[in-house]
Amino acid sequence: MRIMRAEQFKLDRQVEYGTPQQNEVVQTIVEAIRTEGDTALLRYTEQLDRVKLEPSSLRVTEQEINAAYDRVEADFLVAIREAAHNVRKFHEKQMRNSWIDMQPDGTMLGQVLRPLKRVGVYVPGGKAAYPSSVLMNVIPAQVAGVPEIVMVTPPATGGKEGIDPYILVAAAEAGVKEMYRIGGAQAIAALAYGTDTIAPVDKITGPGNIYVALAKRTVFGVVDIDSIAGPSEIAVLADDTADASYVAADLLSQAEHDEMASAVLVTPSQQLAEAVAAEVERQLALLPRAEIARSSIDSYGAVLVVDSLEAGIDVINKMAPEHLEVLTADPMALLPRIENAGAIFLGPYSSEPVGDYFAGPNHILPTNGTARFSSPVNVDDFLKKSSLIYYSKEALFANGGKIMALARHEGLEGHARAIEIRLEKEGGKA
23 annotated ligand-binding residue: no
Q: Least distance in Å: CB of 99 to a second copy?
A: 7
Q: What SS3 string covers 386-418?
A: EEEEECCHHHHHHHHHHHHHHHHHCCCHHHHHH
Residue 225: closest CA among 152, 119, 123: 119
**Contacting range for a second copy; rule: CB under 8 A; set: 23-31, 57-65, 92-100, 176-184:** 92-100
- Residue among 303 and 419 whose Cβ is closer to a second copy: 419
Among 57, 94, 209, 295, binds a second copy (CB under 8 A): 94
- Residue among 51 and 171 whose Cβ is closer to a second copy: 171
Among 33, 65, 68, 132, binds a second copy (CB under 8 A): 132
Which residues partner with 121 through β-bridges?
A: 151, 205
Which residues partner with 120 through β-bridges?
A: 150, 204
Angle at 287 between CA 286 and CA 291, to 5 degrees: 110
Q: How far apart are CA 300 and CA 262, in angstroms?
A: 5
**Contacting range for a second copy; rule: CB under 8 A; set: 29-37, 191-199, 304-312, 357-365:** 357-365
Ordered DSSP codes for 6-22: GGG-----------HHH
Contacts of 378 (CB under 8 A, 6+ apart): 91, 94, 140, 362
The verdict on whether 363 is a catalytic residue reads no
Pairing of strands 99-102, 108-115: antiparallel
Check binding of 418 to a second copy (CB under 8 A).
yes
Q: Least distance in Å: CB of 74 to a second copy?
A: 10
415 annotated ligand-binding residue: yes
- Residue among 181 and 323 whose Cβ is closer to a second copy: 323
Check binding of 208 to a second copy (CB under 8 A).
no
- Residue among 59 and 417 whose Cβ is closer to a second copy: 417
The verdict on whether 85 is a catalytic residue reads no
> Which residues inside 234-293 make contact with a second copy, applying CB under 8 A?
243, 245-246, 249-250, 252-253, 255-257, 283, 287-289, 293
Among 222, 278, 311, 430, binds a second copy (CB under 8 A): 222
Among 10, 50, 160, 425, binds a second copy (CB under 8 A): 425
Q: Least distance in Å: CB of 183 to a second copy?
A: 19
Q: Least distance in Å: CB of 418 to a second copy?
A: 4
Among 62, 101, 281, 330, binds a second copy (CB under 8 A): 101
Among 26, 68, 83, 168, binds a second copy (CB under 8 A): 83
Q: How far apart are CA 235 and CA 365, in angstroms?
A: 14
Contacts of 173 (CB under 8 A, 6+ apart): 77, 80, 81, 84, 135
The rounded radius of gyration (Å) of the Cα atoms in the chain is 26
Which residues partner with 122 through β-bridges?
A: 152
Q: Is 59 exposed, middle or buried (0-12, 13-18, 19+ CB in 10 A)?
A: middle
- Contact in structure between 286 and 248 (CB atoms under 8 Å): no
* Contact pattern for a second copy over residues 318 through 337, marking x by CB under 8 A: -------------xx--x--
**Contacting range for a second copy; rule: CB under 8 A; set: 58-66, 171-179, 185-193, 418-426:** 418-426
Report helix, strand or coil for 366: coil
Q: Which residues are documented as binding site?
A: 122, 186, 209, 232, 254, 257, 323, 356, 410, 415
Binding residues for substrate: 232, 254, 257, 323, 356, 410, 415
